[in-house]
Amino acid sequence: MLDFVRPTGPAGPSDLVWAFQGRNLIGELMGEQGAPIPLAQLESDFDRVSGLTPVGLLNKRPVYACSVETSAMDMMKYTSGNLFALLGRISTTSFDIVGRAYQLLTWDREHAYCGRCGGVTALADKGQSRCCNACNLSVYPRLSPCVIMLVTRDNECLLAAGAGANRRFYSCLAGFVEPGESCEQAVQREVMEEVGLTVDDIRYHGSQPWPFPGQLMLGFTARWTGGEINIDPEEIDEALWCKPDNLPPIPPAFSIAGQLINSFLSSQK
């Protein structure tokens, strides 16, 4: 298990590090998928190791994340794969930890300077925040709350294919929560904007961290109360009322969208 307290001391050569090359996680070909790699090994096998940032304590040992660059990776020793591809291939707990590593690495890099005065920032408050050395502004890791909702009408659920999506899934509607808005209001607004329907009986289902790069998906069910489907073509390609025995391709069960749909299917049996 990961303790979220971020170690403040410098990383040692035997400390474990999740190494990213852009959005790709570096793994050892013969190692466990999604496992971190000792720092000394990364430093000897890659041209440049940078942005070393603490992630937490894994089984009481400090663990870190970093960026790596190399002109030629040893393909007999390492793999490089998109973080997204790990979803469903390692446990949810392990994925969420690797996702945290990627989020903190990205956040530290993008908040090296103060947004108010341009001064240099440094980790503060046991690594929970970054503080500006010049003006003391504190900033915290950015999480973007996002509602995702399954709209139901009697024994049907509404599934939609996103505009421009490269994989043709039919999934739940989703959108970011706006400042000044409750999650329930966001559900009602997004459903109206995307498909022109009104809903009520909005119930929380569960949540999922979604580190691409920093969403927190908050799952809801909502009951249709009125309107005919009228899609916003900028957001949605197609939206359909679907019966349990006649479903289009749906997202996998490791995603909260898949869980919302499967939960509805179970309730219809």
Name which of 49 and 114 has its Cβ closer to Zn ion.
114
Residues pairing with 81 in the sheet: 25
Q: Which of 16, 83, 132, 187 binds Zn ion (CB under 5 A)?
A: 132
Q: Which of 37, 114, 187, 218 binds Zn ion (CB under 5 A)?
A: 114
The span from the CA of 147 to the CA of 54, in Å, is 29
Name which of 119 and 175 has its Cβ closer to Zn ion.
119
Name which of 29 and 112 has its Cβ closer to Zn ion.
112
Q: How far is the CB of 130 from Zn ion (least distance, A)?
A: 10
Residue 150 near Zn ion by CB under 5 A? no
Residues in 13-42 at the binding interface with Zn ion, rule: CB under 5 A: none
Tell me the pairing of strands 198-210 and 61-69: unpaired
Residue 117 near Zn ion by CB under 5 A? yes
- Non-local (6+) Cβ contacts of 109 within 8 A are 51, 67
Residue 119 near Zn ion by CB under 5 A? yes
Name which of 132 and 146 has its Cβ closer to Zn ion.
132
The span from the CA of 205 to the CA of 185, in Å, is 16
**Binding region for Zn ion (CB under 5 A) out of 61-69, 128-136, 164-172, 253-261:** 128-136
The span from the CA of 116 to the CA of 224, in Å, is 44
* Residue closest to 53 by CA, chosen among 32, 36, 77: 36
Residue 197 near Zn ion by CB under 5 A? no
**Binding region for Zn ion (CB under 5 A) out of 43-51, 130-138, 217-225, 256-264:** 130-138
Residue 120 near Zn ion by CB under 5 A? no
Distances (CA, A) of 206 to 145, 216, 255, 256: 13, 11, 11, 8
**Binding region for Zn ion (CB under 5 A) out of 7-15, 61-69, 125-133, 152-160:** 125-133
First to last CA, the chain: 36
Residues pairing with 138 in the sheet: 131
The span from the CA of 18 to the CA of 41, in Å, is 12
Q: Where does this chain bind Zn ion (CB under 5 A)?
A: 114, 116-117, 119, 132, 134-135, 137
